[in-house]
């Protein structure tokens, strides 16, 4: 098959992505070539464009995607050409210090190789026509018609789930639902507060509902996003421009505060409010993030009282277990993904999509091939 295909390439910080032809690499024995059918725009991609996440350039961005297997390496035995897959951005070696302690998100090789924008073997899986190697965001680079990845990053899901829905599972939905189901210990009847109603937060609302939360409170600055949260399971919606989420959390629980607070807004104020809104002995799960060089300040007393504070990057993901389960939950009607898609575009309009994301006017924009 041809190795030339179109991709959106970032050549310099702050510049528009350039749509151009690039060349794919030959397959390694354990690689697969995936024809990307849908990929969505995530804040992490925008952070690279705007410079708050620093990676080598030029780079193919994109890490939330689904597609179909177009070619398999000679040692790949558990998938076939034509299989539908969701891509995972967390490859791991399986035998390092962290992997042995059941923390693949902290895999030594993953942590060491990620900032270089290359795969575990130190190679690029795509090149410019000149032959210069391209870096890949999060071991993927899905703003392209094809990408080559190790087979462990391609997770087979049922063909019945549409590509524009299944692509969301690969990052935002996994992070949000997983934050509630895998990371937080939500008990039947718990009061849960979710800060931020973007894709991750709306997924966290649904994860809390699946976990059996008794009352779910959603917090955002945008009434339209809060309306979506209500449709997806939030019992109470709090617009933080009008009401104090901390006051609402306490007033709704006899003064105690929420049992579990999940943060997905990625804002210093929201981070501080999570520790104030949670009850003594409760849990705070931080799913959002800000520039890695920035500080966040807390009132020391808000960290006391045996509160459990935890950061989670990928919702405790075990992709081979979780991706098919999330796809089945969508097909069964228990997980709603349609409401997360606010715009659909072609690759040529990707810069318009990032302008919408930068302005906060979209939840998920899906690029369809």
Model confidence pLDDT, tens digit, residues 34-76: 999 999 999 999 999 999 889 999 999 999 999 999 999 999 9
pLDDT for res 1: 52
- 253/128 same-domain check: no
* 36 Cβ contact partners less than 8 Å away, ≥ 6 residues apart: 65, 66, 67, 142, 144, 145, 146, 147, 369
**How many CB atoms are located within 10 Å of the residue 294 CB?**
9
* Enclosing domain of residue 285: 175-311
- 320/304 same-domain check: no
- 288/322 same-domain check: no
Say how far apart CA 153 and CA 140 lie, in whole Å: 9
Q: Is 164 helix (H, G, I), strand (E, B) or coil?
A: helix
pLDDT for res 133: 94
pLDDT for res 95: 95
- On whether the CB atoms of residues 177 and 200 are closer than 8 A, the answer is no
- 244/320 same-domain check: no
Say how far apart CA 21 and CA 27 lie, in whole Å: 19
Residue 343: give its domain's CATH number: 3.90.180.10
Nearest Cα residue to 177 out of 205, 212, 217: 205
pLDDT for res 327: 98
Domain boundary among the residues 294, 311, 328 is at 311
Model confidence pLDDT, tens digit, residues 131-183: 899 999 999 999 999 999 999 999 999 999 999 999 999 999 999 999 999 99
Instruction: Give me the number of domains the chain comprises.
Output: 2
Half-sphere exposure of 73 (CA within 13 A, CB side): 16
E-strand spans in 165-251?
A: 191-195, 215-220, 236-239
Q: State the pTM of this model.
A: 0.95
Residue 213: give its domain's CATH number: 3.40.50.720
Say how far apart CA 330 and CA 23 lie, in whole Å: 35
pLDDT for res 121: 87
């Amino acid at each position: 098959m041809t190795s030339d295909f179109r991709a959106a390439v970032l050549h310099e910080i702050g510049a528009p992505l350039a749509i151009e032809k690039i060349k794919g690499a030959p397959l390694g024995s354990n690689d697969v070539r995936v024809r990307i059918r849908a990929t969505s725009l995530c804040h992490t991609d925008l952070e690279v464009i705007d410079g708050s996440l620093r990676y080598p350039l030029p780079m193919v961005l994109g890490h939330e995607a689904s597609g179909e297997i177009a070619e398999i390496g000679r040692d790949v035995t558990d998938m076939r050409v034509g299989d539908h897959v969701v891509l995972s951005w967390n490859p791991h070696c399986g035998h390092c210090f962290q992997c042995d302690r059941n923390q693949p998100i902290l895999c030594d090789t993953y942590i060491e190789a990620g900032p270089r924008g290359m795969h575990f073997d130190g190679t690029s899986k795509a090149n410019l026509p000149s032959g210069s190697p391209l870096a890949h965001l999060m071991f993927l680079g899905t703003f392209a018609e094809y990408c080559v990845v190790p087979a462990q990053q391609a997770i087979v899901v049922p063909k019945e789930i549409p590509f524009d829905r299944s692509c969301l599972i690969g990052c935002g939905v996994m992070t949000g639902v997983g934050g509630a189901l895998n990371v937080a210990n939500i008990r039947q009847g718990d009061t849960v507060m979710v800060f931020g109603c973007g894709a991750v937060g709306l997924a966290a609302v649904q994860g809390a509902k699946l976990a059996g939360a008794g009352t779910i409170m959603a917090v955002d600055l945008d009434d339209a996003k809060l309306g979506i949260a209500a449709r997806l399971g939030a019992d109470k919606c709090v617009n933080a421009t009008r009401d104090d989420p901390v006051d609402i959390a306490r007033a709704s629980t006899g003064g105690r505060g929420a049992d579990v607070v999940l943060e997905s807004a990625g804002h210093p104020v929201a981070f501080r409010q999570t520790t104030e809104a949670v009850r003594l002995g409760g849990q705070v799960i931080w799913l959002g993030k800000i520039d890695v060089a920035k500080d966040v300040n807390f009132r020391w007393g808000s960290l006391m009282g045996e509160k459990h504070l935890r950061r989670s990057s990928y919702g405790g993901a075990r992709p081979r277990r979780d991706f098919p389960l999330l796809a089945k939950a969508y097909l069964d009607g228990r997980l709603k993904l349609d409401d997360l898609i606010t715009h659909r575009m072609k690759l040529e309009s990707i810069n318009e999509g990032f302008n919408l994301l930068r302005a906060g006017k979209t939840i998920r924009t899906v690029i369809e091939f």
